[in-house]
Chain A
Amino acid sequence: MATGAVAALRNMKVAGNSKSLEEARARVFDFFKLACRSLPSVMDIYNLDDVVTRSQLRSAIASQIRKNSHVTNTKVIDMLLFKGMEELGNIVEHHKQRHHIIGQYVLGKDGILQDLSPKDEGSSDFLKNFYSGNYF
């Protein structure tokens, strides 16, 4: 399975510029499907079965994409797609190590601290910054 995903990614061409927002949108969905299809091999390569499920990783990818949902410039979307494709290629070809994947996609940005409980919703920016670090 792993070889198939790698081969599929190898055969992906860098697409030309998207002509319209619809085309860019379609490409994003294609990219998401490709990423989801490579998830089984990724879990296999990095031994992720005991830390995360496939659906969790899927939603991690989705949230990464949703983070840029406000972008409407097709050129920017193409650039982001290119970066995503590169990242996916690196992951699938085992250019990363297990802790990279766990740190970036399993725990997430503020996963390690997990200081923000619902209780803190009313707290000031100062306190939120204080929990995340000394320099703000």
Chain B
Amino acid sequence: MGLGLLASRLIRPQKTAARTLLLRSIVTKPELQSPEPATAPQPDPTPDLPPRTPLAGARVHFPNPEDAIEVFVDGYPVKIPKGMTVLQACEVAGVDIPRFCYHSRLSIAGNCRMCLVEVEKSPKPVASCAMPALPGMKIKTDTPVAKKAREGVMEFLLMNHPLDCPICDQGGECDLQDQSMAFGSDRGRFTEVKRSVVDKNLGPLVKTVMTRCIQCTRCVRFATEVAGVQDLGMLGRGSGEEIGTYVEKLMTSELSGNVIDICPVGALTSKPFAFKARNWELKGTETIDVTDAVGSNIRIDSRGPEVMRITPRLNEDINEEWISDKTRFCYDGLKRQRLNDPMIRSSDGRFKIVSWHDVLAVVAEIALQVKPEEIVGIAGKLSDAESMMALKDFINKMGSNNVWCEGNGPSPNADLRSGYIMNSGISGLENADVFLLVGTEVIQLTFLICLGWNAWIIAVMSFTFCYFFAYELVCCFYDVLNLFFAFMFCTPFCTFSLPLCLIFCLMKCQPRVEAAMVNARIRKTVRGSNAKVAYIGPPADFNYDCEHLGTGPETLTEIAEGRHPFCSTISNAKNPAIIVGAGLFERSDKDAVFSAVETIAKNGNVVRPDWNGFNVLLLNAAQAAALDLGLVPESSQSIESAKFVYLMGADDVDLEKLPNDAFVVYQGHHGDRGVYRANVILPASAFSEKEGTYENTEGCTQQTLPAVPTVGDARDDWKIIRALSEVAGVRLPYDTVGAVRSRIKTVAPNLLSVDEREPATFWASLKPEVTQKMSSAPFDPAIKNFYMTDSITRASKIMAQCSALLLKK
């Protein structure tokens, strides 16, 4: 017997308790058998407590310094503002309280009971998420009482939870799994049959396994409060309690994917991601979304060369912690329709694969043959700043100045930055109390109304308090079909309280299209501070109360000239915000429309030193940076006379007027619309594969990082242009991405201060008078299909399913 073994025998504690029972009884941990309230024996807090750091960078903001109160968490004193809950106090003190139903961005439900803590002089453990912290409260999070309470709650939760973790998509990132390991008992006492719940069909994005649901109601609260759709609700009581849609209905929100993230268990998981990967196999890359102009912060989870899923990243100023469904589910478009080799269209109209060497030689030769003013370069919606800089430099060196970014219209205003960015900032919108939306559809919601009427219907319906077998059922029905079902369903059992509010149902159905995250921010403001919203534009559907003022420029003129009743609302408001849609950039009377809006802004005192409420909501990720870099065409008629067109990912340019003998080069990552007319294809990398700078609609510069390698023989956008310039004999003076950025620095230095919002300095008062007349054509919807706006989303199968199912006309 070795010495080590002897030593370890000595060290091992002697068994003190004699085994009296032969059979092992099912009990909880012995030390939790008789938990004593920790009130009496606790000595006064030890002074040598190590200072704790608040959890996850939790910040305490004292709106009123005299309202600060002091509480003790595990003997450690913390100062918190009045009105904070016990759980928040614990977070400030650096103690993580287990929770399922509590979510900092949703209302407090207090129904999971996982966050029980012991409070001195309280007879029972208290649910910390719902209990306001009181001065001098002594909170104990680590005592036997608290531990036993958690263990008991955990046992109840696991009673009806299926044991299917091995086939559950949440496995590995499941709150229930983690917390049962940390706080649960090592055995259960439940020997009966587990309940099972019918799965609900929530559409093509969210997969449900309702048996796994622990009724935390986070998804219900998210749908009601953040997404603004009353689709989800709680039915039944006791063990029959379940989450569902009241009637058979898909979840028709453009934010529906977020319920996947907030679900603490595997009840709501991603349908496209189902059984595709395990979270510990994935490599996360923190990057930026480019499918709209918001620039939501995302994490791309990849496995090898494949993007497996996209999840949101916290950024309080931009997307908080939500992302739209387009952002989340467009990733399968990155694997389809990709261009992977340089190609030249041969005489029979088919593309032939050639080498980079040959293709660049061909392109350079043709570019040198045409006249300089016949050269046109168009940057696409998804272009990064580096490639746009290279494109502009290349086209300029070729002697032409016809270079622009699609979506910015024929004569964009690139001189005054305040005229094309969101001056309030996305988070700044929360301070506004009146919104006027001009020609923008931040908003709009799909509703599956299939009635054949062409006017819009005003349905009168209300929050109906139904007493359904003594169950409280708080429902809110928004559309006519539901209204009908509600009558069918509830009439026998319930009493109606009659109309409390008016709800508009609109026939022209479209989802909230232009920037779902900005819309969520406006909705948050409307909910939080009862801000008023009015809009001018095509009839749209909003998920908050909103006034439709008119459809076209005449309403705008009325407000500008002070003849409209809404003028007084603007002038009475403290922080009025005007949001102008970038769809107006394409109108020929754009300058007149913008000058009318500026008149409204001037009369309504929208722009002051302390508040700038004039906002332009851009549509595409590339627009702001393109205008900063000065991608402005010399003439608006350049397409008609072009002989050499360089499309850098531009798919939505109208090439109808292009002469038939024009030579079109398409540089991009997807075989989309631009390729149909192209003579040469240069494969480029998508946003998930390159390092690129993007500026979002509020003027915040952010960078993408490569998550996966490029496909096939593709190259980064700016490198292609740099190589082409050398072959064409007009070599651009940069060889590295750093060198491109220092070139950008000379044009738009704000594009180098990453993750910072650069506000515009001058206001439009410097602008010359506008002589243009406004046409009477009403504002058109800028986006026809929310789910398919660019080459990536148009290639995505999931987005196609969404538009087929959720955009029913």
Contacts and interface: CB of A to CB of B under 8 A. Distances in A.
Contacts of B727: 127
B357 A134 contact: no
Given A123-B726, A124-B726, A130 B731 contact: no
A131 interface: yes
A118 to B, nearest CB: 12
B715 A134 contact: yes
Contact of B357 (A115, A124, A126): A115
Contacts of A120: 357
Interface string B703-733: 0000001100011100100110011000100
Contact of B710 (A113, A124, A127, A134): A134
Interface in A66-117: 113-117
B731 A124 contact: yes
Contacts, number: 37
A68 B300 CA distance: 44
A134 B685 contact: yes
Contacts of A113: 355, 357
B355 A130 contact: no
A27 B274 CA distance: 61
A126 B356 contact: no
A117 B357 contact: yes
B735 interface: yes
A135 B685 CA distance: 12
B728 to A, nearest CB: 12
B715 A126 contact: no
A116 B357 CA distance: 8
A54 B356 CA distance: 32
A55 B709 CA distance: 40
Interface residues of A, number: 15
A135 B357 CA distance: 17
Nearest to A136: B719
A126 B735 CA distance: 6
Contacts of A124: 726, 731, 735
Given A115-B356, A115-B357, A117-B357, A126 B714 contact: no
Given A124-B726, A124-B731, A131 B357 contact: yes
Contacts of B723: 126-127, 130-131
Interface in B261-293: none
Nearest to B719: A130
Interface string A121-133: 0011111001100
Contacts of A127: 723, 726-727
A127 B726 CA distance: 8
A115 B355 contact: yes
A131 B342 CA distance: 12
A31 B356 CA distance: 40
A116 B715 CA distance: 18
A125 B723 CA distance: 10
Contacts of B355: 113-115, 131
Interface string B348-375: 0000000111000000000000000000
A131 B716 contact: no
Contacts of B719: 130, 134
Contacts of A117: 357
Residue from the set B357, B709, B710, B719 with the largest chain A CB neighbour count within 10 Å: B357
A126 B734 CA distance: 9
A126 B716 contact: no
Residue from the set A114, A126, A130, A131 with the largest chain B CB neighbour count within 10 Å: A130
A120 B727 CA distance: 9
A57 B159 CA distance: 73
B714 A134 contact: yes
A134 B716 contact: yes
B120 to A, nearest CB: 61
Interface string A24-45: 0000000000000000000000
12 contacts: A115-B355, A120-B357, A123-B726, A124-B731, A125-B735, A126-B735, A127-B723, A130-B715, A130-B722, A134-B714, A134-B715, A135-B709
Interface of B: 355-357, 685, 709-710, 714-716, 719, 722-723, 726-727, 731, 735
Give the top 3 A-B pairs by smallest Cβ distance, nearest first.
A115-B357, A130-B723, A126-B735
Given A131-B723, A134-B685, 11 more contacts: A114-B355, A120-B357, A124-B726, A126-B722, A126-B723, A127-B723, A127-B727, A130-B356, A131-B356, A134-B710, A135-B709
